[in-house]
A = this chain, B = another copy of it.
Amino acid sequence: MLQRSSSVPTTHEVRRAEGSAGTLEQPQRTTPAEPLGRGAGTLEQTKGSAVTERRKVAANTTLRDVAERVGVSVSAVSMALQDHPRIGDDTKRRIREAADELGYVTNSAARALRASKADAIALIVPNTSQHVFGHAYFMHVLTGVTAVANRNDAQVVISTSPDESHGKVAYDRVLRSGSVDGAIVTSAAVTDDGIQRLVADGLPVVLLGRFPYLPDAVSVGIDDVRASELATEHLIQAHGRRALVHLTGPLDHQSAIDRRDGFLAAAARHGVGTYIVEGDFSEESGAAAGPQIEALGDVDGLVAANDEMAFGAMRHLLGRGRRVPEDLAVIGFDDFGLSRVTTPSISTMHVPAERMATQATDRLFDLIGGARVAADEAHTVQPVELIARQSCGCEPMGRAQGGDKQ
C-alpha cells in the first residue's frame, strides 16, 4: 500500500538507474533504456511560453466588443460570423479578424435562448450510474453517440438518475429545460414509465432496445429472440447438446425477456430439455448460479443471457473441476470485450452496440431536424452475429487468439 505523498522524483535519480542498465545487448526494435525525454527537469524552459501572456482573457468577449472594435453594429457582427450573404466579404473578413483577436466565443446560453435550440443531446441512463457504467455496453454506446454528435456539432450531456425512484425527475428536467434538443434513452426497464412520458411529450427521442409497449416510439435494437434462438440452436445442432440451462438477465428488462423466450423457443423446436435460472446480468449472479447448475447433473449446455454471467458461472464450474466445453458447452451474449479475453474464450452473440448507438443518434438528429417517421419504420433492427470461440467447442483450446470483433 503506497502512502499519499507528493514527492516528485528528480531526474537525477533516474539517470543513475539508467546507467546501471548498460551491459545487455539490444534486440531489434528494442529501444535502449536511454533518452529519458521530458522529465521534470525541462519544466522551467516551458514555463514562460505564450501561455502566460494570454492570461485571463476577460471571461466574456461579446458581440458588442467585436462590433465596437470594428466600428459596425452588433447585428452585422452576428451575421458576419454566421457567414450571412448580406454582409460584404471585406467587412466579414475584418469582423472575423477582430473576433479572433478578441478571442470571441458565442455565448451558448444566449444563443440557445434566442434560437430555442441547444446544440446538445442527452444520453439518458435511467439507472444509477454505478450500476450501468459497470457494463461495457455503455462504453460502446457512448462512443457511437459522441461520434455522431461531433459530426453534428452538438454536445453530449450524460444524464443518470441519482437514484431509481427519481428517474422521472431526471427525464423531465433535462429534456424540458431546453438544455438539449433531444435524447437517446438506454437501459430502461420495461416498467419505466418515464420513457412513456418522454415519448408522449413529443420530444425528439430515440430508444435503444426493443419496446413493445411503445410501438410508435423511434427505436433501434436487435432481434434478441432470434439471436437467442441462434445461440441455442448452435449448441444443439453444432455441438449435439441435449439438456440446456438458460441463465436469464433481470426479467424486467425486455432484452432479458426476449433472450429467454428465444432460448425456450429453440429448445422446444428441437425437443431438448430446458432449465431456467434467473440472474441479473452480473458476473456475481452467474457465479451464484454455478452451484445450481452443478446440481443439474444431466445438463450439457449453458446459454447465458450475457457474457458476464457466462463467465461467472464458467469460472465457478471450472473451479469445481467441470470441463468447458467438454462437460458443459457455454455460449454467452454481447461480445463487449470480456468474452474474447477469458480462458476458455466465450462463444457469444455479438451485439453491435456502437453501431446501434450510431444509428440511433443519426435518427435522433433526423428527428430534431424535423423528419417524420412512418409507423412501420419506427423500429430498426441491427444484425447480430454468432462469434464461435472456445467455450462451445468450436475453437480448440490452446490457440491464443479468438475470433476478434469490435
Chain A residues close to B by CB (< 8 Å): 1-9, 13-14, 16-21, 23-24, 26-34, 36-40, 43, 46-47, 49, 51-52, 54-57, 59-60, 103, 105-110, 112-113, 116, 118, 120, 129-130, 133-134, 136, 138-140, 142-143, 146-147, 150-151, 155-160, 162, 172-174, 176-179, 190, 193, 196-197, 199-203, 212-213, 215, 222-223, 225-227, 230, 243, 251, 257-258, 261-262, 264-269, 271, 273-278, 292, 295-296, 298, 311, 315-316, 318-319, 338, 341-343, 379-386, 399-401
Contact = CB atoms under 8 A, between A and B. Distances in A.
A21 B39 CA distance: 67
Nearest to A106: B177
Contacts of A39: 212, 257, 261
Nearest to A294: B27
Given A113-B107, A155-B179, A400-B318, A265 B55 contact: no
Given A106-B177, A215-B43, A265-B17, A38 B382 contact: no
A124 to B, nearest CB: 11
B257 A37 contact: yes
A208 B116 CA distance: 35
A31 B318 contact: no
- With most chain B CB atoms within 10 A of its CB, the pick from A52, A146, A380, A401 is A146
Contacts of A52: 200
Contacts of A20: 267-268, 271
Nearest to A271: B20
A82 B400 CA distance: 62
A105 B177 contact: yes
Given A31-B276, A110-B113, A179-B155, A172 B105 contact: yes
Contact of A277 (B8, B30, B133): B30
Given A43-B213, A276-B31, A6 B261 contact: no
Contacts of A401: 315, 319
A74 to B, nearest CB: 16
A295 B28 CA distance: 9
B276 A223 contact: no
A157 B160 contact: no
